Amino acid sequence: MDFDSLIHMFLKHKDGLKWMNFPKIGCGERYFDYYYAERGLYVIRYKITGALYFLEATSPKEAFMKLKKILDDAI
């Protein structure tokens, strides 16, 4: 499945998805939750604003740490 098809499918079914909490990392993970789409694609949601981030990773912890680095670099 290509990225555009995956995004379309995600947006079509997002209300029925089961969002997961991140494991305890100690870096503000309580403000985020994630959905594992497929083939290493994680959709991370910021609980306060509802912003979505799409990242490739091998584990939820790796996905969160990648997002944290992106957000820290943006400041």
Looking at residue 11, its pLDDT comes to 72
Looking at residue 28, its pLDDT comes to 87
Q: Which amino acid type is present at position 42?
A: Y
Q: Is 55 a domain residue?
A: yes
Q: Is 13 a domain residue?
A: no
Q: 54 with 39: CB under 8 angstroms?
A: no
Separation between Cα atoms, residue 16 and residue 29, nearest integer Å? 22
The list of the chain residues with pLDDT below 70 reads 1-2, 13-16
Looking at residue 15, its pLDDT comes to 66
The 10s digit of each residue's pLDDT in 49-66 is 989 899 999 999 999 999
The residue segments making up the domain with residue 39 are 18-74
Q: 57 with 66: CB under 8 angstroms?
A: yes
Total domains in the fold of the chain: 1
Looking at residue 1, its pLDDT comes to 59
Q: Is 35 a domain residue?
A: yes
CA separation, residue 18 to residues 9, 21, 34, 43, 69 (Å)? 15, 10, 9, 12, 25
Q: Is 37 a domain residue?
A: yes
